[in-house]
Structure 1
Amino acid sequence: MTFKELGMSPEILKAIEELGFDNPMPVQAETLPVLLNDDVDLVALAQTGTGKTAAFGLPMIQKMNYTNKDTEVLVLCPTRELCIQISKDCKNYSKYIQECTILPVYGGASIDVQIRTLKKGVKMIVATPGRMNDLINRGKVDISKLKYIILDEADEMLNMGFKEDLDNILAQTPNTKHTLLFSATMPREVEAISKDYMKDPVRIQIGSRNQGADSVSHVYYLVHAKDRYLALKRIADYYPDIYSIVFCRTKLETQEVADMLIRDGYNADSLHGDLSQAQRDHVMNRFRLKNVQMLVATDVAARGLDVNNLTHVINYNLPDELEQYVHRSGRTGRADKTGISIAIINLREKYKIKDIERQIKKEFTKAEIPTGKEVCKKQLFNMIDKVEHVDVNYPEIETFLPDIMKKLEWMDKEELIRKFVSLEFNRFLEYYVGAPDLNVDESRERTKQEKGKRDTKTNKSGNFTRLFITLGHKDKIVPQRLIGMINDYTHERHIEIGKIDILDTFSYVDVEESKAQAVIDAFEDKFVKGRPIAVEIAESKGSSSRGRSSERRSSSDGRRRDGGGDRRSSSKKSDDRRSNDRNSSDRRSSDRKKDSSRRDSDRKRYR
Structure 2
Amino acid sequence: MQTFKETGLPEEILSAIGELGYETPTPIQSKTIPEILNYGNDLIALAQTGTGKTGAFGLPVIPQVKTEEKNVQALILCPTRELCLQITKDLQKYAKNYRDLYVTPVYGGTEIRTQIKALKRGSHIVVGTPGRMNDLINRKAIELGNVRWLILDEADEMLNMGFKDDIEAIMAQTPEWRQTLLFSATMPAEISRISKKYMQDPIEISVGTKNSGSENVEHHFYMVQAHDRYKALKRVVDVIPDVYGIIFCRTRQETKDIADKLMADGYNADALHGDLSQAQRDMVMHRFRKKHLQLLVATDVAARGIDVNDLTHVINYNLPDDIEAYIHRSGRTGRAGKNGVSVAIIHSREMHRIKAIEKLAKKKFERKMVPKSEEICEKQLFHFLDRVGKTELEEASPVNALLPSVYEKLAAMEKEDLIKQFVAAEFNRFMEYYKDAPDLNIYKEERGKRGERGERGGRGERGGRGDASFSRLFLNLGKTDKLTSGDVIGLINSNMRGVTVKVGKIELLRNFSFVEVDKEYEQEVIDKLNRSKLKGKKVNLEVASPKPSGRKERRRRN
Structures share a fold, TM > 0.5? yes
Aligned-partner residue type, residue 344 of structure 2: A
| 1:332-411 → structure 2 map (5 Å cutoff) | 332-396=333-397, 397-411=399-413
SS class of match (2:342): strand
Describe the superposition over 1:38-82 as per-residue Cα deviations: whole angstroms up to 9, x where unpaired.
432100011111110000010011211122222110000000000
TM-fit CA distance, 1:376:
0.3
Q: Which residue is 1:495 aligned to?
A: 503
- Aligned residue pairs total 506
Q: Report the AA paired with residue 495 of structure 1.
A: V
**Structure 1: gaps spanning 5 or more residues:** 488-493, 497-511, 539-607
The answer for the alignment partner of 1:595 in structure 2 is none
Deviation at residue 260 of structure 1 after TM alignment? 0.6
Structure 1: distance between partners of 2:528 and 2:202? 32
Structure 1 pair 410–56 and aligned structure 2 pair: CA distance change class (3 A): same
Partner of 2:426: 424
In structure 2, which of residues 463, 477, 498 is the aligned counterpart of residue 480 of structure 1?
498
TM-score normalised by structure 2 residue count: 0.85
Partner of 2:416: 414
Worse overlay, 225-234 or 288-297 = 288-297
8 Å Cα contact 1:248/1:317 also seen in 2: yes
Q: Which has the higher helix share?
A: 1
Q: For residue 449 of structure 1, report the CA deviation from its aligned partner.
A: 4.1
Give the TM-score normalised by the residue count of structure 1. Answer: 0.79
Counterpart residue number, 1:105: 106
The reply on whether 1:205 has 2:228 as its aligned counterpart is no
Indicate the structure (1 or 2) with the bigger Cα radius of gyration: 1
Please list, as runs of the form range in 1=range in 2, the aligned pairs for 1:158-169 lying within 5 A after superposition.
Answer: 158-169=159-170
Shift of 1:304: 2.2
C-alpha distance in 2 between matches for 1:204 and 1:457: 47
Match of 1:518? 515
Query: Aligned in 2, Cα 1:453/1:81: closer, same or farther, shift over 3 Å?
Result: same
C-alpha RMSD of matched pairs (Å): 2.7
2:459 and 2:503 in contact (8 A); partners too: no
Query: Is the Cα–Cα contact under 8 Å of residues 465 and 537 in structure 1 kept in the other structure?
Result: no
Q: Distance in 1 between matches of 2:432 and 2:524?
A: 41
Asked whether the equivalents of residues 506 and 515 of structure 2 are also in contact (C-alpha less than 8 Å), the reply is: no
User: Is the CA contact (8 Å cut-off) linking 2:3 and 2:23 kept in structure 1?
Assistant: yes
Correspondence for 1:220: 221
1:203-602 equivalences in 2 (<5 Å): 203-396=204-397, 397-449=399-451, 452-453=454-455, 465-467=486-488, 468-469=490-491, 479-481=497-499, 483=500, 487=501, 494-495=502-503, 513=506, 517-518=514-515, 526=527, 532-535=531-534
* 8 Å Cα contact 1:41/1:200 also seen in 2: yes
Q: Is the 8 A contact 1:2 1:24 kept in 2?
A: yes
Shift of 1:6: 1.4
Percentage identity across paired residues of the two chains: 50
Q: How does 1:80-95 map to 2 (within 5 A)?
A: 80-95=81-96
Instruction: Report the Cα distance in structure 2 between the residues aligned to 1:435 and 1:234, rounded to whole angstroms.
Output: 11
State the alpha-carbon separation in 2 of the partners of residues 454 and 262 from structure 1. Answer: 34
Distance, in Å, in 1 between the alignment partners of 2:198 and 2:462 is 55
- 31-40 vs 451-460, greater mean Cα deviation: 451-460
- Show the 5 A alignment for 1:102-181: 102-181=103-182
Partner of 2:466: none
Q: 1:357 to 1:402 in 2, by over 3 A?
A: same
Distance of 1:141 and 1:286 partners within structure 2: 35
Q: Distance in 2 between matches of 1:329 and 1:28?
A: 21
Where 2:205 maps in the other structure, the secondary structure is strand
Correspondence 1:63 to 2:81? no
Whether the 8 Å CA contact 1:470–1:535 is kept in 2: the answer is no
> Comparing 448-457 with 3-12, which one deviates more in the overlay?
448-457
Match of 1:553? none
In the alignment, the residues of structure 2 paired with residue 168 and residue 319 of structure 1 have an alpha-carbon distance, to the nearest angstrom, of: 29
Partner-residue secondary structure (3-state), 1:394? coil
Cα distance in 2 for partners of 1:26, 1:392 equals 44
Check 1:519–1:39 CA distance in 2 against 1; reply closer, same or farther (3 A cut).
farther
Q: What is the CA distance between 1:7 and its match in structure 2? A: 1.9
Task: Give the Cα–Cα distance (whole angstroms) in 1 for the partners of residues 457 and 283 of structure 2.
Answer: 53
| Closer/same/farther in 2, CA of residues 402 and 209 from structure 1, 3 Å limit | same
- Residue by residue, what CA displacement relative to the aligned partner does 1:80-120 show, whole Å, maximum 9, x if unpaired? 00000000011111112101210110011221111111111
What secondary structure is seen at the aligned counterpart in 1 of 2:318?
Answer: coil
CA distance in structure 1 between the partners assigned to 2:267 and 2:138 by the alignment: 47
Equivalent in the alignment of 2:33: 32
Question: Partners of 2:172 and 2:456 in 1: how far apart?
Answer: 60
